[in-house]
Structure 1
Amino acid sequence: MKTAALGPAERTEALARLTAPGRELDVLVVGGGVVGAGTALDAVTRGLSTGLVEMRDWASGTSSRSSKLIHGGLRYLEMLDFALVREALKERGLLLSRIAPHLVKPVPFLYPLRHRGWERAYAGSGVALYDTMSVSAGHGRRLPLHRHLTRRQALRVAPALRREALVGALQYYDAQVDDARYVATLVRTAAGYGAQCVNRARVTGFLREGERVVGVTVQDLEERDGRGGFRTHHIRAKQIVNATGVWTDDTQAMIAERGQFHVRASKGIHLVVPRDRIHSSSGLILRTEKSVLFVIPWGRHWIIGTTDTAWDLDKAHPAASSADIDYLLERVNAVLATPLARDDVEGVYAGLRPLLAGESDATSKLSREHIVAHPVPGLVVVAGGKYTTYRVMAKDAVDAAVHGLDIRVADCCTEEVRLAGAEGYHALWNARARIAGRTGLHSARVEHLLNRYGSLTEELLELIEREPRLGEPLPAADDYLRAEIVYACTHEGARHLEDVLTRRTRISIETFDRGTRSARECAGLMAGVLGWDEPQIEREVRHYEKRVEAERESQLQPDDRTADAARLGAPDTVPL
């Protein structure tokens, strides 16, 4: 496997190959979230000619707006969904130990106990079962086992907790990931094995021959035709996989097929606050009346979430309302000695979970399990599931697609496929002090790069060697080096300023200015790669500033409808 770059030239070449006259792929995947990217990697590593198209940016929907956890789902044990938990724990172990150790990291959680006696026995037995299932599922030994803590011990771990908020605690381990970075790495890995991957390519319809689906019509949202519209292409494929998440029903409507199931959207919002606002060496998991609330360590920050409410408004830009923010602050402040205020919130983001619609009106009771269907010949639909189990969903989707192919196809092998940057990561991590000495970067900078790029860090170091100023941090977001902005465009498929500030980095939620102070400098760094002139730089910056303004306004609104209306005040980077 070679390391694939996803720069402008590679995108152009991939689109040309997908749309070449007479070309017919084995599998075309529609949707560039974690499931779609995982499906493309599964298909191409079975030897199938594979394409992947995404309407916006990689992971621009649900897959960049999760709680950023790789976990089995402790609360599903309480629902007696043992199969789902065991499956997720196996995947967690694979991601930690083999597939992506540079991206997926252990994280401790403290569960405060509010009642004496019965609660410790009840919760303790659940966490013990969680650990046992993890070990039995394989690869679980990479995480420490849970432990019981007295109140005094718990307050040493998390001094931020109010003494009267707990009588003791349990501590256990799960894992976390930068969800958008993981998807971008999945796409690069698939491209390295030969998949043709194109973002900003919108599917507008399906090609049919009789009942059978034989391809799609796509608009290249980065190129205009002579009449001012988007250039249109046809991509033909023997099997098409619809992996569009919360857009599943909309995509199905293009072929006038309602499908065998429906997908409903559940909104979850998260707050980001500085690390010094909560004094703790461990994450927290708290019970609420509806679900659970996580306080998750995130570099120099905490992520607090999430909510779980039905959403039937704009799917591209779900909005967090003032009521959503107040809900999270009220729940977390119930256990904190020093309450958080609105002014402590650096960032807010909202995402939509694709849930399989069921009998219940409560989204928290809809299925997190996935389903695969073959509604018409030539088309496979995959929906539902959890981020952690994306690889299983991808395997099932490709298995279904293989049934429609008249060739012998190898079994899934992604359990053994390391993502780009994983090979050699541990050796480089062990040599990080030497790398720091060789490059002149601080060892903390080298660790930051290794935990974002793994062994691909060498490619960023080469950029810095050629142009030393790229080794300097961004003045208004000094966690990130200038080289990371350039690399996002040359190697990771970033096409617009928003892609870099919200997904290739997390500047949009990790700074109080939401990235506006970094916007112009980042646009200038991107311009050299993407060929922007000064008016284009100005358009990108202005668009991003309007996005931030609209998000801030939406977060002052009292409910979903007013928040949605305010958020829609900022148009898409490329109006659709």
Structure 2
Amino acid sequence: MGNASALSPQARETALQQLGTPGNEVDVLVVGGGITGAGAALDAVTRGLTVGLLEQRDLASGTSSRSSKLVHGGLRYLEMMDFGLVREALTERGLLLTKLAPHLVKPVPFLYPLTHRGWERGYVGAGLALYDTMARVGGHDAGLPRHRHLTRKGVARVAPDFKAERLAGAIQYWDAQVDDARLVLTVARTAAQHGAHIATRTKVTGFLREGERVIGVRARDLETGRDLEIRARVVVNAAGVWTDEIQGLVGGRGSLHVKASKGIHIVVPRDRIRSESGFIVRTETSVLFVIPWGRHWIIGTTDTAWDLDRAHPAASRADIDYVLEHVNRILREPLDHEDVEGVYAGLRPLLSGESEPTSRISREHTVVTPVPGLVMIAGGKLTTYRVMARDAVDAASHSLRSGGSPMVRDSITDRVPLVGADGYETRANQRVMLARRSGLHLARIDHLLGRYGGRIDDVLDLVADRPELSAPLAGAEDYLAAEVVHAVTHEGARHLDDVLVRRTRISIETFDRGVGAAPEAARLIGELLGWTEERLAAEVDHYRRRVAAERQSQKMMTDQEADEARVSLPDLI
């Protein structure tokens, strides 16, 4: 379909024009551009429905860019005897690895350390054997290696910096990981490829009603200030931790109440921990993951209630100390604050329980229809986004039928490859040829294949047309200048933040948090979006002040102090 998936500046304008034209109506309008909203848009459009999606900031700007970046079955749910949730998640993991997004989702090994002799090895081993078996029975084990038992010496060989002498051994098992923001973007691009209208920087300000029935929304284009009325036969609210606020716009009617649970992660260079495997360690309240991430490690997470600013949750000094303290218990060479390249904090949207601590509230999702024409979905987790989306659109189809529409077809997203999946294996096999033809190092081609898959030619064509874009981005040499341009022309980036924080991971993968890369990246973006010198300078200044505010918040000991430091910097419009 050529570049129908490209989320270009013109594609945004076209989407807003189509959605806001009087007399036009879509079957399904999705509110929220995280993984659930993007998934719902893709599910609906591939069933033959007309679809729009509105996001008030950037795609994946909330929870969906701030996770542990794992696609996994959930061992902790297995221990809670929630076999159905584990089986469902393992099936989704397999689909993503093999069919839907093999270019984005990759296997990753973990060590589960054993501290007790005898009973623990049998207990954990039985659980992991069940985990592997459930994946195989689902038919989507993706060829991942089965778990294996390691002695103390085996642990020392695999992970020399792990305090193996304090262990009774370990069990190595396999799960998968993904750049969560890139997954959201790719799902949204796939929806656009099939005809969905995607509009970011567009805020829902109210609902349109006909009697009790919701028939659309009032929205504002935050870039121009223009107000729109967008009509839809069904509105799907997938606003995550903002669910209660959207529910309030319809008079507070509904049965979903979402708690926000804060989880923070730190990023450290790969050479700070010698290990061929990630590991997972129990803490008093949750689990700690140490996750390989290219030339880095991601370490987290926490699980604490959060009732402050939801757009920019802040990691406090106490949060970072907690993660460092727990990871240092298992490392020979302790980490300290000087080792931390990046920090990010995200909010999990958890369905409220009966006074349960947030670490125990189920991650399962719920779909409700509080009033005719409005579907709301909340809860769930990244791995099972496709199931959540399917359930939301199933509920929307019931609402459509009640409004006199014909039967809506069943979901087919288990058979719809995401943008970049088609052609990925062929292009991966041609990696040497691509390197020779483009003049790029083979490692650069592998990097691009892991981000763009079979659409790597979109980036290589930019390099061919403008050879200067083959240079590494100044201040962030892991990325090419061409990737910044591609982020604007194909991936919907509208601000410097969008590129440094979500289209790339420069903000957490460099010790200066991307400040050094900001001027060149802003210049490349500004050339495409027509920025004046004043606007370009404002974008760079805002990014620098964003980093300064985050650093300041991370020195504060309490959530309240950290929040005050972080929200001192308002967003750019």
TM-score, structure 1 length as denominator?
0.98
Give, in whole Å, the separation in 2 of the partners of 1:53 and 1:2: 24
Instruction: State the secondary structure of the residue aligned to 2:415.
Output: coil
Asked if residue 389 in structure 1 is aligned to residue 388 in structure 2, the reply is no
Contact 1:2–1:193 (Cα < 8 Å) also in 2: no
Question: In 2 relative to 1, CA 117–218 (structure 1 residues): closer, same or farther, beyond 3 Å?
Answer: same
Give, in whole Å, the separation in 1 of the partners of 2:16 and 2:102: 31
Instruction: State the secondary structure of the residue aligned to 1:318.
Output: coil
Instruction: State the secondary structure of the residue aligned to 1:108.
Output: strand
Equivalent in the alignment of 2:343 = 348
Equivalent in the alignment of 1:83 = 84
The CA deviation string for residues 507-556 of structure 1, in whole angstroms up to 9 with x for no partner, is 00000000001101100000111110110000100111111000000000
User: What is the one-letter code of the residue matched to 2:276?
Assistant: S
Question: Structure 1: where are the runs of 5+ without partners?
Answer: 224-229
The alpha carbon displacement at 1:222 in A equals 1.3
Asked if residue 139 in structure 1 is aligned to residue 140 in structure 2, the reply is yes
1:296 to 291, 298, 309: 291
Asked if residue 477 in structure 1 is aligned to residue 486 in structure 2, the reply is no
Equivalent in the alignment of 2:176 = 175
Question: In 2 relative to 1, CA 50–2 (structure 1 residues): closer, same or farther, beyond 3 Å?
Answer: farther
Instruction: State the secondary structure of the residue aligned to 1:251.
Output: helix
Contact 2:152–2:165 (Cα < 8 Å) also in 1: no
Correspondence list, 1:432-447, <5 A? 432-447=431-446
User: What is the one-letter code of the residue matched to 1:94?
Assistant: L
Give, in whole Å, the separation in 1 of the partners of 2:399 and 2:567: 41
The CA deviation string for residues 473-532 of structure 1, in whole angstroms up to 9 with x for no partner, is 012111000000000000000000000000000000000000001101100000111110
The alpha carbon displacement at 1:165 in A equals 2.8
Contact 1:97–1:142 (Cα < 8 Å) also in 2: no
User: What is the one-letter code of the residue matched to 2:466?
Assistant: E
Contact 2:264–2:319 (Cα < 8 Å) also in 1: yes
Give, in whole Å, the separation in 1 of the partners of 2:111 and 2:534: 51
Give, in whole Å, the separation in 2 of the partners of 1:436 and 1:443: 5
Asked if residue 416 in structure 1 is aligned to residue 415 in structure 2, the reply is yes
Give, in whole Å, the separation in 1 of the partners of 2:382 and 2:7: 23
Equivalent in the alignment of 1:373 = 368
Equivalent in the alignment of 2:490 = 491
Give, in whole Å, the separation in 1 of the partners of 2:355 and 2:78: 20
Correspondence list, 1:168-317, <5 A? 168-223=169-224, 230-317=225-312
| Percent identity over paired residues | 65
The alpha carbon displacement at 1:141 in A equals 4.1
Question: Structure 2: where are the runs of 5+ without partners?
Answer: none
Asked if residue 120 in structure 1 is aligned to residue 121 in structure 2, the reply is yes
Equivalent in the alignment of 2:149 = 148
Instruction: State the secondary structure of the residue aligned to 1:93.
Output: helix
Give, in whole Å, the separation in 2 of the partners of 1:17 and 1:163: 61
Contact 1:45–1:413 (Cα < 8 Å) also in 2: yes
Contact 1:93–1:142 (Cα < 8 Å) also in 2: no
Contact 1:257–1:375 (Cα < 8 Å) also in 2: no
The alpha carbon displacement at 1:408 in A equals 2.1
Give, in whole Å, the separation in 2 of the partners of 1:200 and 1:136: 43
Instruction: State the secondary structure of the residue aligned to 1:551.
Output: helix
User: What is the one-letter code of the residue matched to 1:457?
Assistant: I
The CA deviation string for residues 18-65 of structure 1, in whole angstroms up to 9 with x for no partner, is 111100110000000000000000000000000001000000000000
Moved more, 162-171 or 545-554: 162-171
The CA deviation string for residues 327-351 of structure 1, in whole angstroms up to 9 with x for no partner, is 0000000000000010000000000
Asked if residue 536 in structure 1 is aligned to residue 555 in structure 2, the reply is no
TM-score, structure 2 length as denominator?
0.98
Give, in whole Å, the separation in 1 of the partners of 2:305 and 2:487: 34
Give, in whole Å, the separation in 2 of the partners of 1:324 and 1:517: 27
Instruction: State the secondary structure of the residue aligned to 1:170.
Output: strand
User: What is the one-letter code of the residue matched to 2:568?
Assistant: G
Give, in whole Å, the separation in 2 of the partners of 1:28 and 1:289: 42
Moved more, 401-410 or 201-210: 401-410
Give, in whole Å, the separation in 1 of the partners of 2:518 and 2:382: 30
Give, in whole Å, the separation in 2 of the partners of 1:165 and 1:466: 57
Equivalent in the alignment of 1:28 = 29
Give, in whole Å, the separation in 1 of the partners of 2:132 and 2:170: 16
Contact 2:98–2:142 (Cα < 8 Å) also in 1: no
User: What is the one-letter code of the residue matched to 1:260?
Assistant: S
Equivalent in the alignment of 2:457 = 458
Instruction: State the secondary structure of the residue aligned to 1:280.
Output: coil
The alpha carbon displacement at 1:2 in A equals 4.1
User: What is the one-letter code of the residue matched to 1:42?
Assistant: D
User: What is the one-letter code of the residue matched to 1:131?
Assistant: D
Give, in whole Å, the separation in 1 of the partners of 2:206 and 2:22: 19
User: What is the one-letter code of the residue matched to 1:519?
Assistant: A
Give, in whole Å, the separation in 2 of the partners of 1:157 and 1:98: 31
Equivalent in the alignment of 1:337 = 332
How many residue pairs are counted as aligned between the two chains? Answer: 568
Instruction: State the secondary structure of the residue aligned to 1:142.
Output: coil
Contact 2:256–2:378 (Cα < 8 Å) also in 1: no
Correspondence list, 1:69-80, <5 A? 69-80=70-81
Correspondence list, 1:517-556, <5 A? 517-556=516-555
The alpha carbon displacement at 1:150 in A equals 0.4
Q: Which runs of 4+ in 1 moved over 4 A?
A: none
Equivalent in the alignment of 1:427 = 426
Give, in whole Å, the separation in 2 of the partners of 1:70 and 1:177: 7
Contact 1:249–1:258 (Cα < 8 Å) also in 2: no
Instruction: State the secondary structure of the residue aligned to 1:415.
Output: helix
Give, in whole Å, the separation in 2 of the partners of 1:454 and 1:334: 39
The alpha carbon displacement at 1:166 in A equals 1.3
